[in-house]
Every structure is written in structure tokens, then in C-alpha cells.
Amino acid sequence: MTYALVDSPIGPLTVVGEDDALSGLYMHQGRHVPDVAGFGQRDDAAHPAARRQLAEYFAGERQQFTVPLRPRGSEFQRTVWSALAEIPYGQTCSYGELTARLGLTPQAVRAVAGANGRNPISILLPCHRVIGADGRLTGYAGGLPRKQFLLDLERPPAAREQLLF
């Protein structure tokens, strides 16, 4: 395992992986970040494809990631995280909608929200695209300002221009 620190518009990101697959992408001072001692050797040249794709994403040049992912978690968590990958760029869904997409009962929404909050590969598994049923931003392990930044970044250019006026 190796990890690299990557600068981004939302602060430093820690990219963690083994071989060619990522197992973590963590925001500086985010919640649920494991101890760096478990990330392996630091090598800021490691994971070049992930670093390049993140730079393209933040530049507005990439909407999908192709880096292989290997998130670690329970079977339920991995199921939720796979569903996150199905939320299209520039779109959002509520926790309830995500729960329904998984074929679960409405009572499972808290479990789905909990798994969403423990997503170890933020941005690439776009947990920032999950919002409250009323359209408000709710919990985000990286903080609500970062969630808002990512959602704004993914807005179509015409929608971004409307925010300015």
C-alpha cells in the first residue's frame, strides 16, 4: 500500500491504494479518516492515473473516473457505495431515493446514510451527490462547504452563470 498527498481546490487529498486500485481518497480534516499509519508508504508520485483524473475533474474536464477502486467495508457498505457510482455527474438524489434504488424498505434509510457517510473513496464514489429529501445539503464527511463546492463544480455552465446573477 502507498499513499500520496494531492493538492486540490478543496484542500489536500490523501489518495491511498495498492497496486493499481484505490482503497481510499480522504479529505484533510474529514470525518472517518483512518490513521495514516495504515496507509503504507508515502509516495507523492504514486497513483498517477488517480492524480491526473482528479486534476481533470477539478478543471471541469472529466465527468467519470476510470481508476480501479477497491473500497474496504462490509458487504452492505460496498453495495451502497456501488450505487453511488450510478448517480450521474451533475445530478443528485435523496437518501430515500438511494434507499429505494437499492430495493430496501424506507426504514433502511439511516443505514444507507451511515454507509454513505463512511464512503472511503470520496469524489470518485460521489457521496456528495446525495442530499436531503427537501433538497437541502445534509451531512458530509468532508464538511458541507466542500459538498457545496463539488455540487457547484458539477453544475452545467448555464446553471453556474445563473448563480452569479
Residues known to be catalytic: 127
Q: Using a CB cutoff of 8 Å and minimum separation of 24, what contacts does 85-91 make?
A: 85/125, 85/126, 87/126, 87/129, 87/130, 89/63, 89/64, 89/126, 89/154, 90/63, 90/154, 90/155, 90/156, 91/129
Residue recorded with cell 452563470: 161
Nearest to 121 by CA among 91, 142, 104: 142
**How far apart, in whole angstroms, are the C-alpha atoms of residue 101 and residue 106?**
11
